[in-house]
Structure 1
Amino acid sequence: MKLIHGTDQAGTAGKTGSQFTGTVNNYLTLPATDGVTINTVNFSPGARTYWHRHERGQILQVLAGEGLVCTEADGVRVLHAGDTVWCPPGERHWHGAAPGAFMTHTAISLGTTEWAEEVSDEQYGTAPAQEGQNQ
């Protein structure tokens, strides 16, 4: 068993290297343990991850606010508190806050993460798909 108290979590504020656009507060809830990493991330309006993919997939649990998630195949989808997203192994995607809202999510990443390029303002500004098309 591994117990990590909230007071032991490593947090970083602001941009984090080549992983985020905008201002985020990223809390490493569970450092890589048996190929699983858990982060709780607070995104300011418009903040988002870079394009990336996960070796064994990723689970996103939206805790508060409104956000966006995008894959090359599905386009942009709107996220609300209580939503859960499964990104299968190798699926290229990004996620972050909606333009006028804050968002907090917990990201459970399985295996290694491969980071790619920044999401352009044009890609970010793409109109979200119709609500109710949750697949």
Structure 2
Amino acid sequence: MKIIHGRAEGSLSDQRATVTGDVWFDQVLPPTDGTTIATVFFAPGARTFWHSHEHGQILQVLAGQGLICSDGSTPEPIRAGDTIWVPPGERHWHGAAPGSFMTHTAISLGTTTWAEEVVDD
């Protein structure tokens, strides 16, 4: 068993080079046995780059409204209370809708492979 206490008071969340717009990642569980958990805040219109996960990803939307899109598909709306399963190796992106922020918990299984930025089209 491993207990991971909440982020230390005064510590900062980080931004990454794999997003468009303002996005903050608060690591809940550092990489452990191939699993990483983070609470992620997206400012309106902010989103991840295209990416995939070796063993899949679970997203739990905590607040706001967003979009998620698998490669070759049309973006789909997501909102607080939704849980999304992204299968292993499925190329996708996710982020906040243009008029809303979004916060979700991301449970990433295995290695994450990052690709190019998502274009507005």
Classify the TM-score, shorter chain: over 0.9
Q: Deviations over 1:75-104 (max 9, x none)?
A: 210001000110000000000000010000
Contact 1:11 1:25 (8 Å CA) reproduced: no
**Aligned ranges 1:1-135 → 2 under 5 Å:** 1-8=1-8, 11-13=12-14, 15-17=15-17, 19-122=18-121
Contact 2:24 2:41 (8 Å CA) reproduced: yes
**Stretches of structure 2 lacking an aligned partner (at least 5 in a row):** none
* CA positional deviation for 1:16: 0.9
Normalising by structure 2, we get a TM-score of: 0.93
Normalising by structure 1, we get a TM-score of: 0.84
Q: How many residues align?
A: 120
Q: Secondary structure at the match of 2:31?
A: strand
Residue type matched to 1:59 in 2?
A: I
Identity %: 62
Q: Secondary structure at the match of 2:25?
A: strand
